[in-house]
Amino acid sequence: MGRVLLVLVYALWGFGQAALAAEKEVPKASAKEPSKAAPPTYVGTEVCRACHVPAFEKFSTTMMGKIFLHNPRNETEKRACENCHGPGSNHVAAGGGKGTGGMITFRKDSGESPEHQNGPCLSCHERGIQTYWKASPHAGRGMACVNCHTLMEKTTDRHQLARVSDRTPFFTKQAQNELCGSCHLQRRAQLLRSSHMPLREGKLTCTDCHNPHGTPNPAQLKQNSVNENCYTCHTERRGPFLYEHPPVFENCANCHEPHGSVNDRLLKVTDPRLCTQCHMAGGGHPSNPRGRNSVFFFNRSCTNCHSQVHGSNHPAGIFFQR
C-alpha cells in the first residue's frame, strides 16, 4: 500500500513538472513573431530608366527633369524619379506594375487621394505662393497638383501647366487662361463679352489678380482687397482725393464687373442707370428723358457733367464735376 502511494505521488509530481515546463516554453514560441518587411530603399535612376524608357525621355525634357537629372542642387534632387514617386526597391522586387511596391502614381485617375499625391510636391513647394495651399478653396475641393500641372511633358511654361487641348499654344499667357477656364466656365463666358479684361489679347493672365494656391484674401486675390488689386494697374484711381466717392472708396466692384460686361468700361449697369441706383429722387435731376423740359438732359449720361466720379482734388470738386 505504501509503495502504491509513493508511485502516485511521484507520478503527480512528474506531471506537474512537465506542465510547468510546457508553460515556460509557450512565451518562447509566441515571442517568435514573423519578421516585418524591410523598408523600401532607393534603387537609382538607371533602374527606373531600364523599364520606363518613354516616360524617362519625356521627363528629361521638362524643367524639373533638366534640374534633377543634369544639375541637381542637393541629395534629394539627385534621386530624380524616386524623389517624387518614392523609393523603388519594393516596386522592383514585385516585378513592377502601376501602384505596386507603394509607388505614388501622379494621375487624375490613379485612385490615390489628392493628399497622397500632393505630399511629395508640398515637401519642396511649401513656401512662397504655396504657403496657403492647405487652406485654399482648391485644396478644400480635393484638387491635386496634377489637375493643373504636368510632370512628364515639356509644356507651356516654367510652371509646367497642363495643356487643355492639342490646340493650346506653348509658352503663352493664353495657355494659363485656358487652363483656368476649363473649370471656371462662368468667368470664361464673362471674358467673351464685348467689354472684358484683356486676357484674350494676351495682356493679362488669371494669376495677375489671383493666386490659385490660396491667399488669406477674398476670392484668392493677390492683394489684401479688391481695390488694392485694381490699383496695381489703375494707379491713377488710388488717390487719396480731396473729395472721395464712397462707393469707389469702398469697393471697385460696386460699379464694375472685373471679368467682363456687356456695358462699356466693365460697368455692371449702363450709365445713367448705374448712378440712379443710389442717386434717385431728390437729387435735383430727372431720372428719365421726360423728367424736365430741357434739351440739355435729353440722351445724356451723368458723367457728361460729373466726369471725376472716382474722386476729385479740385477745391470746387465736391460734386465730382472737375
pLDDT digits (tens, 9 = 90+) for 166-185: 666 655 678 888 889 999 99
The mean pLDDT of 81-96, rounded to a whole number, is: 90
Cell numbers standing for residue 192? 467673351
Question: Closest Cα partner for 198 from 260, 254, 253?
Answer: 260
Looking at 202-256, list the stretches that DSSP marks H as alpha helix, in order from N- to C-terminal side. 226-231, 246-250
Residue 278 reports pLDDT greater than 80: yes
pLDDT digits (tens, 9 = 90+) for 225-261: 999 999 999 999 998 999 999 999 999 999 999 999 9
Average model confidence (pLDDT) across the chain: 82
Question: Closest Cα partner for 103 from 78, 77, 84?
Answer: 84
Percentage of the chain exceeding pLDDT 70:
77
Confidence of residue 111 (pLDDT cuts 50, 70, 90): confident
Give yes or no for a cis peptide into 240 (omega within 30° of 0).
Answer: yes
Rounded to whole angstroms, how far apart are CA atoms 176 and 188? 12
The mean pLDDT of 141-158, rounded to a whole number, is: 79
